[in-house]
Structure 1
């Protein structure tokens, strides 16, 4: 019996894109083995252009005949060439003389010139004739609310999921002549049953007579007839129907979210049963139409599907689909001016950034840094990846109250794309600052000088040293009992509430009235409501809020020494200033 799985399983290793829509300079998306590629970033940053480029190179329609519009060229400049290339492996077909395997496909378009679409062979030689059979070894399929389930589970084209499955099943079926003969006999019986319906038999006879007359002068005396099966693909007689309880439903009865999930289930079953590669499944915003719990479940399923060998690309605006365990398959897209940039990192580059910004070199290891971050991450913290700027605060009180203070001074953080995130203690500030700044996200740190959980000042020192504060500045900052605001940080004196009470004359009175009105003494709820009702007199408190506002609006990205995903483990990098400071702390506190 032949095996369903082919000897060769075509895979996409990477795709490079240049001059296409928002992508000016070449960007490359690499496909790690058995992990989903996750494209994140704010709206209009270029995520959709990446999947459009994938569809040009590996989609249903032959790239050679692609109708390229003027707006497909970056900056709408038709003189700018569009170049899309995909590195591949494990293609079974060979091309050229002498025959060679295919290493890549390349698409190039300059307005006014013929489209160039070639396969690059093992020695780099371009080969211009690429048949649909060769192209069919690796195809991309987009699943979103526009490319719905009824299309993918139909025979509309040979590129749909259902057509691909049935082609594999048909090949296996016809390999056994006795099985084919038995099936034909059964289909004859089905046809005879249809003929027992008088209306069908009459219509069939009329159709046969009329078509025979019309087509009488055609080659081979073509005629029309009805059949219960397609002899070119016996399995085309089968249809896929969703079932609810015991009743069959139409796809139109399903919600869009249900359709997307069923399409994914079908693709996963196809992958596990027949192939380990050969399709790139593109999920455009899979969170659409799914409630948060369903998103979390689907995220787990996508990771499982990828582990089973299905190549998956997703674009998303949901932190539920970010898994830091798969950091090397996470790509952050941002707009730099009018051009899309792509940021991708690895365990090695995260490790080097942590060490370079003062992390403990004895405790931080390249093999443990990713599990450390992944195990401590939450969807709430990971929302920072979708922000233009991030403000890290110690806890819920600052997270709820600070946006109110800023909005009352004219800065709507939501409108400006600023995410204020509580990280559950000052000991976590430097950790998440390092992650976000590694990806070039402008990040501001707020904390207080409460020594309750940081008597030796190590956590505050770590946070300040990470953002570049020198030894000379540290003592004054850590010792202050009042506001301390600079370009990358804000210190709220002893603690947030004490500092606010000192800075606003009416704070105590408003706090008492709000506790009575709300019927609760919950610290963070009361602090938020107090922020809403403080007087707007020109007091010290509002002056400092204005300074924070100015610092946030002018906040620039931290430029890490690590600018690209590292490919190899490197020796630990010592930060001299940080090392000196740690030695001082050891001497002072005996640690």
Structure 2
């Protein structure tokens, strides 16, 4: 499990350490460094693909799974002194530190040279970004063993899992072990959204997978493009989560799981993500939703595992990024509410009360 990560001269962090737990939530204002932390994780584990090489050349866009331009933008503009590297990433797995020093390749300035030290962590990282694929008539088939970052192969993964007889972790089986992986996905879609069923079919010649939805209000299946974005966005998360539950030591990183979801469904999603930790999945979530956090801490309290939940609040203060770790009590309560941490509702209500008082006078 990833317990800690240290970043030196990386993006907005001159030198910063951040803690992780079985369930880690990254919250905070825009441009406060949340995505930078996720990118650091992706870059670090993307640099371990050729684990037998002490020194490797890394294509940054491939590692981060998004076009980012030249790697020079990854170097902090207010660096501390660091020998033999432009920036440095280190991860602690609870027993040992794994360290990678990064240098911009002067012969090929769009690449990074990664020099690895004492590598001991080899977690498999699954990542879903905020720009997940919405409703499509058909989805591309491909990549049999891993969700892609936009979630576009979720339907295909389900179909392959059904054919292979893939079983999910028993703690996540809502109604006992089903005969198909896709049935578990459907049950969790129902638990989060309510009243959803679907069918799958893959055309191996066209390399596409079709999914059609059904609910109690229609008498025939409909295409994803005839439904809202929430169903398509949630499909990849549930599929990836249940897929990871079959593996040992999987890390699931998700950006904005609340996208296109009603507050009730956001809370249910938070509970689902916390439940994944029961199956040994380490979950790292970037979110702007208090409902995701509330659902996760309610579930953590029910499981009596609030000590395995970590909320990191990031803020920009005095020209630097600060990370505040907020503890969750045994009853699921947050022990602190820093300024800027989901306090906008109370501020807006005070403003409305002030206006009502003024109008009354």
Normalised-by-shorter TM-score class: 0.5 to 0.7
Matched, 1:403 2:359: no
Matched, 1:108 2:102: yes
Which among 128, 138, 145 is matched to residue 142 of structure 1?
A: 128
Q: Which residue of 2 aligns with 1:19?
A: 9
Kept in 2, the 8 Å contact 1:57–1:107? The answer is no
Q: Classify 1:263/1:117 alpha carbon distance in 2 versus 1 (closer, same or farther; 3 Å).
A: farther
TM (norm. structure 1) is 0.39
TM (norm. structure 2) is 0.60
User: Residue deviations 1:301-345, cap 9 Å, x none?
Assistant: 221223332222111122112245547511011113332221214
| SS at structure 2 position matched to 1:385 | coil
User: CA offset at residue 266 of structure 1?
Assistant: 0.8
Q: Which residue of 1 aligns with 2:19?
A: 29
Which among 44, 61, 83 is matched to residue 31 of structure 2?
A: 44
Q: Which residue of 1 aligns with 2:193?
A: none
Matched, 1:531 2:339: no
State the Cα RMSD in Å.
Answer: 4.6
Q: Classify 1:262/1:168 alpha carbon distance in 2 versus 1 (closer, same or farther; 3 Å).
A: closer
Structure with the larger helix share? 1
| SS at structure 2 position matched to 1:86 | strand
Which among 91, 114, 120 is matched to residue 86 of structure 1?
A: 91
User: CA offset at residue 39 of structure 1?
Assistant: 0.6
How many residue pairs end up in the alignment? 281
User: Residue deviations 1:56-111, cap 9 Å, x none?
Assistant: 12359967232643222112879972222233489xxxxxxxxxxx9635252356
Alignment of 1:44-193 (within 5 A): 44-59=31-46, 64-66=58-60, 68-75=70-77, 81-88=86-93, 104=98, 106-110=100-104, 112=106, 115-118=113-116, 120-121=118-119, 138-146=124-132, 154-157=140-143, 159-160=146-147
* C-alpha separation in 2, matches of 1:165 and 1:104: 34
Structure 1: unaligned runs, 5 residues or longer: 1-10, 91-101, 123-133, 174-227, 231-235, 348-369, 392-398, 405-524, 535-591
Alignment of 1:63-462 (within 5 A): 64-66=58-60, 68-75=70-77, 81-88=86-93, 104=98, 106-110=100-104, 112=106, 115-118=113-116, 120-121=118-119, 138-146=124-132, 154-157=140-143, 159-160=146-147, 239=209, 241-245=211-215, 250-272=223-245, 274-278=246-250, 280-323=251-294, 325=301, 326=306, 328-346=309-327, 370-371=329-330, 374=333, 385-387=341-343, 400=349, 403=351
Structure whose alpha-carbon radius of gyration is higher: 1
User: Residue deviations 1:360-398, cap 9 Å, x none?
Assistant: xxxxxxxxxx13562999xxx89961359x98xxxxxxx
Q: Classify 1:275/1:374 alpha carbon distance in 2 versus 1 (closer, same or farther; 3 Å).
A: same
User: CA offset at residue 165 of structure 1?
Assistant: 7.5
